[in-house]
Structure 1
Amino acid sequence: MIEVAVLESKANFEYLKYLSESSDKKAILEELMTAYGKDVWNYAFSMTRRWDQADDITQEVFLKVFRNLYTFRSESSVKTWILTISRNMTLDYRRSAFYRKVTLMEFITPAGEPVNKTEQAVIEKMAVNDLWKLVLKLPVKYREVLLLYAHYQLSIKEMAQILGLTEGTVKSRLYHARKKVLKLKESQSYGSD
Structure 2
Amino acid sequence: MFQLEKHYEIHSEQIYQFLYFITFDVQLAEDLMQETFMRAYEARHSYHGDANVLTWLRTIARNIAYDYLKRGKRLRFFTLTKVKEEMAIELSAEQLVHIEEEKRELYRAIAGLKLNYRMAIVLRKIEGLSIKEAAEALGWNEAKVKNNTERGMLALKKAMGGRYDG
Query: TM-score, normalization: structure 2?
Result: 0.74
Aligned counterpart in structure 2 of residue 157 of structure 1, from 120, 132, 141: 132
Higher RCO, Cα 8 Å, sep 6+: 2
Residue in structure 1 matched with residue 160 of structure 2 by the alignment = 185
- Please state if 1:50 is matched with 2:50: no
| CA deviation after TM superposition for structure 1 residue 73, in Å | 3.5
Residue in structure 2 matched with residue 8 of structure 1 by the alignment = none
Aligned pairs, number: 145
Q: Which amino acid aligns with 1:156?
A: I
CA distance in 1, matches of 2:48, 2:11: 18
Q: Which has the larger radius of gyration?
A: 1
**Does the Cα contact within 8 Å between 2:4 and 2:37 map onto a contact in 1?**
yes
Q: Which amino acid aligns with 1:45?
A: Y
SS of 2:128 mapped into structure 1: coil
CA distance in 2, matches of 1:181, 1:70: 40
| CA deviation after TM superposition for structure 1 residue 42, in Å | 1.4
Kindly indicate which of the two structures has a greater share of residues assigned to helix: 1
Describe how 1:120-159 pairs up with structure 2 within 5 A: 120=78, 123-125=79-81, 128=100, 129=103, 130-159=105-134
Residue in structure 2 matched with residue 80 of structure 1 by the alignment = 55
| CA deviation after TM superposition for structure 1 residue 58, in Å | 1.1
- Please state if 1:93 is matched with 2:68: yes
RMSD: 2.7
- Please state if 1:61 is matched with 2:36: yes
CA distance in 2, matches of 1:62, 1:44: 13
| CA deviation after TM superposition for structure 1 residue 188, in Å | 6.8
Specify every segment of 5 or more residues in structure 2 that has no aligned partner in the other structure, as ranges.
Answer: 83-98
Query: TM-score, normalization: structure 1?
Result: 0.65
Runs of 4+ in 1 over 6 A off after TM superposition: none
